[in-house]
Each structure stands twice: as C-alpha cells, then as structure tokens.
C-alpha cells in the first residue's frame, strides 16, 4: 500500500491526541508513516506503534525546532520528493494549517484544510456556514495535503512494530528567518485541553459574570470536560480569551458540547458545529442554538446547571 505521511503533533515529546486520529485515518487509506520532528522521540515511540504507524521518519535534530514552521515544511517537502507518498496528513491546528499551506506551495500541490471526514480518493468533507452545508473537495494536482480537524476521527489502537528511519534536512537560509527565542510552557490545569477534549461545556453572556463561571466549571468537572466560552463572555472579561470558541476563537469538535447561556450566533457555531452531540441550556426557547441541538433544555441556567452537576456527581 502507498505511504501516507502523518506529521506528529507533539510538545516536547508529549504526543497530542490528534496524531492518533491522523494515524487511524491514514491506516484506512494506506500505510501510516509518522514523521517525527525534534527531540523526545524515544519517550513517544511506543505510542506511535500502538496506533499503527508502519514506519517512523525520525528527524531528531534539535535545530529543526529552533525555528518556527519552515524547517518542518522543508523536511516534509524532502520526504515527498524522495518517497512520493499518496498524501500528507497534518492536524488542522494553527501550526498544522500553516505548514500545509507552505508545503502546498513548495511541492506545487493542493491543500484541503479543516477536513472533518475523508472518502476514497482523498475526497475531503468540510462542514461550512454553521454546519448548514457540507462540501466535498479533492486536490486536483500533486500530492494531496490534508489538514484534519482534531476530534473528527475516533482514534483506534492497532499495535504495530514500525520501522524507523533517521532523516535530516539541510535547512535553507530562508527557513532560518524566524528563530524561536523563548518557549513558555502553558500552565496546565486539571481539565483537558479545549481542542482535544471529548466533552466541552461552554458558558455565554447568560452566565452573567466572572464569578458565575464557577457553575460552568463545576458542570465541566463533573463530566471531566474542558471549559469554553462565547466571545460575549470573553470580551466581558469573565473568562480568558484562550477559551473562546468560534470563528475568532478555537474550533472544537468533541463528542459532546454543552452550550450554557449561549444564543448560538453564526460566529459561535463556526467553532463548534461539528460536535457529535450538542446540548443547550437557554431560557429563551427561540434562541437560534436550539436549531442546532440534539437535546435542548429551556430553562434558567442558574437552576438547571447546578441540578445537572449534582445528578452527574451522584452517578460517578
Ligand atoms: C467578526 C466576528 C467574529 C466573532 N467571533 C466570535 C467567536 O469566535 N465566538 C463567539 O462566541 N462569538 C463571536 N462573535 C460574536 C457573536 O456574533 C455573538 O455576539 C456572540 O457569540 C454572542 O455570545 P452569547 O451567545 O454568549 O451572547 P448572547 O447572544 O447575548 O446570548 C446570551 C444567551 O443567554 C441566554 N440567557 C440569558 N440568561 C440566561 C439564563 N439565566 N439562563 C439560561 N439562558 C440565559 C439568552 O437567552 C441568550 O440566548 C463574533 C462576531 C463577529 C462580528
């Protein structure tokens, strides 16, 4: 079977869940060949084997992570030229999409971004306009580069014994244009990362203030969920902007999304419409969010949310 290159998304050797999703997807269409860039591979190799990588290209040179995205692009371009893979998969994160775009220019091919599903022939599925329209697109020239949205595929283990190949690339001067001068590890709370979480509970303007976000956090914690917020809530300073879901915030696609006191504006939907199951709590039965939900509760969140938290905690 033809090889599909999967760029491993990791932070200092800790592999992100989206990589396991990409490996799972790649296995359905070819041999999943992981591409590791930077230090930390030894601690992560078992995980890549667990999710069925048939091969791992290891580019361990620390220099490759000393600059922003360009070295990864140059490495992938070299691997494409040397091995003619059937496709290249990256995570549709900010960095992944930048790599995808640059790589497409470099190897003169096309890129599909924010793909939420894939069919034979690398036909990508995209959910657009607040989930109202599903489009299908195919790269018509060169090696398809496909940026897959996190949480679009359920990761499935399929243990393998991957072959390892050490690779390196001589960076061009252009790739060294922007050096990373400092890395600050984001303080990690107990909760899962927003874009990777299986469950997200988000609060909006209806929550009414920063202190009341405790209700959202308690509901989230009862479910082991991440906390999100609408822009109205983040702009008001009730919750940090890094937790904003929507067009100008994060895109999430969890198994379960609970919108609390959120009206469902198109810009909010853009960031959560592909969630598998959507639940809303809103006191206005006419709120647009109810057009989108699988399950809606018309009620006052100050009554509904604590009761829900209590019920869930009882069953844990
Ligand atoms: C260019 C642009 C980009 C944007 N990007 C984003 C984005 O990334 N993310 C985003 O979220 N928005 C974004 N917005 C803003 C978006 O248009 C909406 O203004 C915003 O999503 C509204 O947030 P909200 O639903 O929390 O507030 P509102 O629309 O004010 O809705 C609050 C809801 O809470 C309900 N409510 C009130 N009190 C209670 C209660 N006690 N119990 C239950 N329900 C209650 C109300 O019925 C109402 O439906 C963007 C806008 C623009 C123009």
CA distances from 289 to 111, 254, 263, 267, 278 (A): 32, 17, 6, 12, 9
Q: Which atom of ligand 1 is nearest to the CA of 288?
A: 49
Q: What is the pLDDT along the chain (316 residues), one digit of tens a residue?
A: 799 999 999 988 999 999 999 999 999 999 999 999 999 999 999 999 999 999 999 999 999 999 999 999 999 999 999 999 999 999 999 999 999 999 999 999 999 999 999 999 999 999 877 667 899 999 999 999 999 998 889 999 999 999 999 999 999 999 999 999 998 877 777 899 999 899 999 999 999 999 999 999 999 999 999 999 999 999 999 999 999 999 999 989 999 999 999 999 999 999 999 899 999 999 999 999 999 999 999 999 999 999 999 999 999 8
Q: Closest residue (by CA) to atom 50 of ligand 1?
A: 267
Q: Is the CB of 296 under 6 A from ligand 1?
A: no
Instruction: Please state the atom number of ligand 1 nearest to the C-alpha of residue 245.
Output: 9
Q: Are 4 and 33 in contact (CB under 8 A)?
A: yes
pTM score: 0.81
Name 151's Cβ contacts closer than 8 Å, sequence gap at least 6: 18, 21, 195, 196, 198, 252, 253, 254, 255, 274
91 alpha carbon – ligand 1 mean position (Å): 28
Q: Is the CB of 215 under 6 A from ligand 1?
A: no
State the closest ligand 1 atom to the C-alpha of 230, by its place in the atom list counted from 1: 11
- Give the position, in ligand 1's atom list, of the atom nearest the Cα of 249: 8
Between the CA of 250 and the centroid of ligand 1 the distance, in Å, is 15
From the CB of 228, is ligand 1 less than 6 Å away?
no
Answer for the pair 200, 225: CB distance below 8 angstroms, yes or no.
Answer: yes
């Amino acid at each position: 079977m033809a090889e599909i290159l999967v760029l491993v998304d990791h932070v200092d050797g800790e592999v992100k869940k989206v990589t396991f999703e990409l490996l799972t997807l790649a296995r359905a269409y070819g041999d999943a060949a992981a591409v590791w860039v930077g230090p930390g591979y030894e601690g992560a190799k078992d995980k890549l084997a667990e999710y069925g990588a048939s091969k791992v290209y290891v580019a361990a040179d620390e220099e490759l992570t000393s600059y922003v995205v360009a070295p990864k692009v140059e490495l992938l371009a070299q691997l494409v030229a040397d091995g003619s893979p059937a496709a290249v998969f990256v995570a549709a994160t900010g960095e992944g999409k930048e790599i995808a775009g640059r790589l497409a220019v470099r190897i003169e091919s096309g890129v599909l971004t924010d793909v939420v599903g894939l069919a034979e022939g690398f036909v990508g599925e995209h959910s657009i306009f607040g989930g109202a329209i599903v489009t299908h697109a195919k790269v018509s020239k060169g090696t398809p580069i496909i940026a897959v949205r996190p949480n679009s595929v359920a990761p499935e283990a399929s243990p393998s014994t991957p072959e390892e190949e050490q690779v390196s690339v001589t960076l061009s001067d252009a790739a060294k244009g922007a050096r990373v001068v400092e890395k600050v590890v984001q303080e990690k709370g107990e909760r899962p990362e927003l874009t990777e979480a299986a469950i997200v509970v988000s609060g909006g303007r209806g929550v009414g203030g920063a202190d009341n976000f405790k209700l959202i956090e308690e509901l989230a914690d009862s479910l082991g969920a991440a906390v999100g917020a609408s822009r109205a809530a983040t702009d008001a300073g009730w919750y940090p902007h890094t937790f904003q879901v929507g067009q100008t915030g994060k895109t999430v696609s969890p198994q379960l999304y609970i919108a609390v006191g959120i009206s469902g504006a198109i810009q909010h939907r853009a960031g959560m419409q592909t969630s598998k199951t959507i639940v809303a709590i809103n006191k206005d039965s006419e709120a647009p969010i109810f057009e989108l939900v699988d399950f809606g509760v018309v009620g006052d969140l100050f009554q509904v949310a604590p009761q829900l938290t209590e019920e869930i905690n009882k069953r844990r």
